[in-house]
Structure 1
């Protein structure tokens, strides 16, 4: 989500052409999620390859997440000027370059630079696909196609779990990540051949962005209590599942819980599959009960915190059924964070929704960055001297950091929910201008 000007409705494109262009564009998003999640199941191997501790390993994910978050507004401006095709090509090329660098890197600085390239390319992808949906499909089908795009993109996380772990352990680090880059290059070639911005061809570069207008929209969006409610909703619901999937879940399951690499990757795959099923349910509940969305936010957050409490307090390693329960609850975090964008949509006029969504999107990524770093630091501090890897006790202390973030987020959601309700009540009392 980012700053995006909704294009004027275009004539309906032929169905086969629209399906082909959208299908290839979605494959670009699948590849982006594949690149994004490739570090999640290779963190343990990365720590051995680069001979680094948990804090340094955390910087790999932080670099990727920080660049993604910082690029939200700039990407929207670039997209309005250059169109989807150019940005998908640029983003795909950046991610392929990043994975090639990561495959060949033996130096930590080069590895971090590689993750920065992946984050840059990833930031350009999803919103570019959404713009293609807006141009190639009639307006009444846009919501369904947007939801389908986001759901299908998660196939990349499945490819980045068990298959990547098997390849890594069979072929080694460099061949595995060169194969990842090859997949990205194949998708990039498909984009060059098949994707067009509109049914009439490629979009000509637009005018230079009006930065003053962008700043005005951002200030107006931030002044709206509903936007800040969306930001804190995204903050409190996203970070636990996101950090588990992107980096620390796999080491926790393998090093802390003693699972095999394949079993750990299978649990991450189960988490992704569960997201497919829960996403439409969350969307349906928000549509049916728009005045009780905050209740859903607190239910999701409370359930996540409660299951984590049982896992962290369990004497010894947690049983399999409890770890399955954990990943199923964490799977709801991603769809739950989308409630933040729904707040932004209902609290802002149409011409400001893109700016408000960009603000909301920062919340969850900011929380994720803080947690990724905090877990890495606590793991290093809590790991007994002389041990090569963290033990279960260290992981317990590290994941307990989440409760501080949940407390902060819950307080802020309550605060801005009340502010939003007061604002809505004040507007209802104000007579309409004739």
Structure 2
């Protein structure tokens, strides 16, 4: 799912990663499980607004533009914290950073559960985004510190799978909780789960690592300047942006209210449908990476992913099949298309010098997340604009036509991705 700033192997040697007096394998496994549980927890929180959209907008009398903006600011803080999080993990205790990150998520959820104003909803999401930025890198650091290098790729793959499962947990299981307790109590319960995670981290995780010298911090700005001068890195980042933006705006926020309005179904059924996106993403991502290496091609697969996304999103929004089951099947295609962002990281590795790879991966990850930062509020603005010009005013109730108009941004994302992968991104032949 999300990647973050990893330092190249020649820098890792500075840290003295695996020593003979390292913590036992059992303790390392428990630490890895705790970190992946935090990743699952973070992804559940990240995608939870999609099932809370209707009750929050109705209770707080918010329109789609305001709600979308309040939820979308999560991605700004998440994005801005990517490289700082990587630097901190080089210098500060894993246990301390994990507890701090989980603590921010707890604080954000409690604020979210108790607020009555859109401004504080946004502040809560900013705080959650800051804490969430540490989740994926924590898994990688623990895998790197406690396990043999040959298992690193497998552990990262498991983390991607867990991230998708977490997103599904933020929709389907949480929808049952929401129906029984309400959105405020649901957020409070999420905060309580965070307390248990933080307690587990405090008890279990111990790390004693050598830190990278502070002078190496200057290399980050140098690497960033180097990669942004490479047009291929920028085009790959643009493709990553177009492949993940539909996931962020449909699966994480607007998909559930759209499906509820279109098929007149409960949030449980609607969230089950959007969970198909995460299911396909979880299964397609590792397979796509394996198949790309097998055939020695990247660009052709990127093009096909965009085509699949374009066809499925067009059928959903413009052809409008009447069966909710058919829509659920088509949403699998959206998930498969989203898996294309996994390949963008492989291309980044192919085209960048190893000494700049860490910053290149961080830059590409920011391009992925910016899709949500831009399109979640944009769709809210489009919803409100269309509703206002059709007599709906500022109410929080939108018609199917309003949703269809706003969500047509999705096919345009895939068109942009196909054009870039077809005419701008050069084939690397997995070299």
The TM-score, its normalising length taken from structure 2, stands at: 0.90
How far the C-alpha of 1:206 sits from its partner, in A, is 5.2
Matched, 1:4 2:14: no
- Decide which moves more: 295-304 or 384-393: 384-393
2: CA distance, partners of 1:4 / 1:297: 24
Matched, 1:31 2:41: yes
Q: What SS does the aligned partner of 1:40 have?
A: helix
How far the C-alpha of 1:194 sits from its partner, in A, is 0.9
Q: What SS does the aligned partner of 2:50 have?
A: coil
Who is 2:222 aligned against?
216
- Counting matched residue pairs gives 416
Matches within 5 A, 1:50-61: 50-61=60-71
Who is 1:146 aligned against?
156
CA offset digits 1:149-184 (Å, max 9, x no partner): 221233322322222112222112321110011111
The 8 Å contact of residues 82 and 204 in structure 1, kept in 2 or not, is answered as no
Matches within 5 A, 1:238-277: 238-277=244-283
Q: What SS does the aligned partner of 1:41 have?
A: helix
Who is 1:127 aligned against?
137
RMSD: 2.2
2: CA distance, partners of 1:50 / 1:171: 17
CA offset digits 1:53-109 (Å, max 9, x no partner): 000111122100111112112211222121432221111000000000000011111
The 8 Å contact of residues 25 and 195 in structure 1, kept in 2 or not, is answered as no
The 8 Å contact of residues 61 and 396 in structure 2, kept in 1 or not, is answered as no
How far the C-alpha of 1:415 sits from its partner, in A, is 4.4
2: CA distance, partners of 1:225 / 1:342: 16
Residues 409 and 159 (structure 1 numbering): CA distance in 2 closer, same or farther, change over 3 Å?
closer
1: CA distance, partners of 2:246 / 2:138: 27
**Aligned match for 1:398, one of 399, 406, 422:** 406
2: CA distance, partners of 1:66 / 1:226: 24
Who is 2:311 aligned against?
306
Structure 1 unaligned segments of length 5 or more: list them: 429-434
How far the C-alpha of 1:406 sits from its partner, in A, is 3.2
Who is 2:192 aligned against?
182
2: CA distance, partners of 1:153 / 1:171: 25
The 8 Å contact of residues 70 and 119 in structure 2, kept in 1 or not, is answered as no
Who is 1:432 aligned against?
none
**Aligned match for 1:230, one of 228, 236, 248:** 236
How far the C-alpha of 1:349 sits from its partner, in A, is 2.7
Q: What SS does the aligned partner of 2:5 have?
A: coil
How far the C-alpha of 1:328 sits from its partner, in A, is 0.5
- Decide which moves more: 21-30 or 253-262: 253-262
Who is 1:363 aligned against?
367
Who is 1:191 aligned against?
201
- Decide which moves more: 377-386 or 2-11: 2-11
Who is 1:322 aligned against?
326
Structure 2 unaligned segments of length 5 or more: list them: none
2: CA distance, partners of 1:174 / 1:229: 42
How far the C-alpha of 1:307 sits from its partner, in A, is 1.4
Residues 202 and 48 (structure 1 numbering): CA distance in 2 closer, same or farther, change over 3 Å?
farther
